[in-house]
Chain A
Amino acid sequence: MIILRIADIYSPLLLGTVGMLLLAIALVIFIIFHQRKVIRYQMKMQEMESEQQKILLRASIKLQEEERQRIAADLHDDAGPLLATARLYLTENMVNLDKATQLQSIFNAKQIIDEAIQLIRNISHSLMPPTLKNFGLESAVSDFFQKINGSGSMNVNSRFHDYKVRLRPEKELIVFRVIQELTNNILKHSNSSFIHLTQHNSDDSIIIRMHHDGRGLSHDDFIKMSKSNVGLGLKNIQSRLKVIHGDILFEQDASQSFYKVTIDVPKEFDEK
């Protein structure tokens, strides 16, 4: 057995070896702890993400239920009574009435049935706007904006700079719904005097930007609200955009007088 003498312990060789070894051990320990910390952070992020997914899913289910309730209410409260009234005009008793009254009843029933047809058409249009299906996003947006302009309360206009190749129908519907939701939010909460929508093309995505001069949201507000229990519409916007891998950015103009909302929708190969 070879034993080192005490005097040798302070030799540069031994001191160097101890120093080097300490450095090596410190490095290994640092790497182990750092990696543990990173993995824990990743796990925490994953948990947060799954929690966010759950919130979005709940919001989307809630919205679906609300939409169903609305359609059910429309059918039950409007279409139901209309058809029941039409049925009343067309009872068997009608044969015993004189010709003029018969004609009047038939005319009334026809009018009511026309009304019911119009109502059902409106419900169907609210589910899937025919302009969007037949003529695309540009026409659907301009149609939607014309209706708002018709009320005279706000000046709303849109300008599509380069929209020759249409997005896929399901994508167009999602973008249209997002635009609808954003416009509704601006109408309800911003107190602005105008909304201006523009569309531009980049290499791999289409960019839609909405300007308004009212009270708006910053991106931090949007993130905060979409994570909280309020702001169902915002959560819905987020979950819709997630489906098409889109992105949204809320910001204020450099002049601090306008608010901007930018939607970035990536294009697929056949949409370029």
Chain B
Amino acid sequence: MLITELTWTILFIKSGTKDYLDNYQIIENILILLTVIYYYYEQIIKLNVNFIYTQRSFWIVTAYFLFISGIFFLIIYIPLLKKEEKENYYALNYVFTIVRTIFLSIGMLMKSTSETSKKRNYNSIY
């Protein structure tokens, strides 16, 4: 958060116009992608008992990962496109928003792993 805020301020001071918003979005997406990759790296290193796809966080992170990967080039190219081209390519944004929503829904509908382990503990007591 602090890094993005700092970047935002630097870009604003440097350009003095709203154009910095395009650059800001690219940087923000890169930072999110890096965070997501770090999350996956942590999951690989951590000695997990449960499979990764049984975790709610995996579906949420993957939703954003696919969404940002999908619209990344759209964000880069959108300032260079003409108005009619923009309308054409904006379909990509809708497609990936649907993908993101589906993944988020799966994540939200999943039982959290901590709940399952609690139940197991109670079962073992009685």
Contacts and interface: CB of A to CB of B under 8 A. Distances in A.
A5 B73 CA distance: 18
A34 B26 CA distance: 30
Contacts of B62: 28
A32 B52 contact: yes
Contacts of B38: none
B24 interface: no
B91 A2 contact: yes
Given A8-B88, A12-B77, A24-B65, A35 B52 contact: yes
A169 interface: no
B112 interface: no
A42 interface: yes
A178 B11 CA distance: 71
A26 B23 CA distance: 27
Contact of A4 (B52, B76, B91): B91
How many chain A residues sit at the interface, stated as a range, is 20 to 34
Contacts of B2: none
B126 interface: no
Contacts of A24: 65-66, 69-70
Interface string B81-110: 100000111111000000000000000000
A80 interface: no
Interface stretch (A13-21, A50-58, A132-140): A13-21
Contacts of A5: 88
B70 A34 contact: no
A84 interface: no
A31 B40 contact: yes
A36 interface: yes
B125 interface: no
A20 B73 contact: yes
A242 B101 CA distance: 52
A183 B72 CA distance: 71
A31 B73 contact: no
Interface in A160-185: none
A243 interface: no
A36 B58 CA distance: 14
A95 interface: no
Interface of A: 2, 4-5, 8, 12-14, 16-17, 20-21, 23-25, 27-28, 31-32, 34-36, 38-39, 42
The 8 A-B residue pairs with the shortest CB-CB distance, nearest first, are A16-B73, A24-B69, A13-B77, A2-B91, A17-B73, A20-B69, A35-B52, A31-B40
Given A5-B88, A20-B73, A35-B52, 8 more contacts: A12-B77, A16-B73, A20-B72, A24-B66, A24-B70, A31-B40, A32-B53, A39-B49
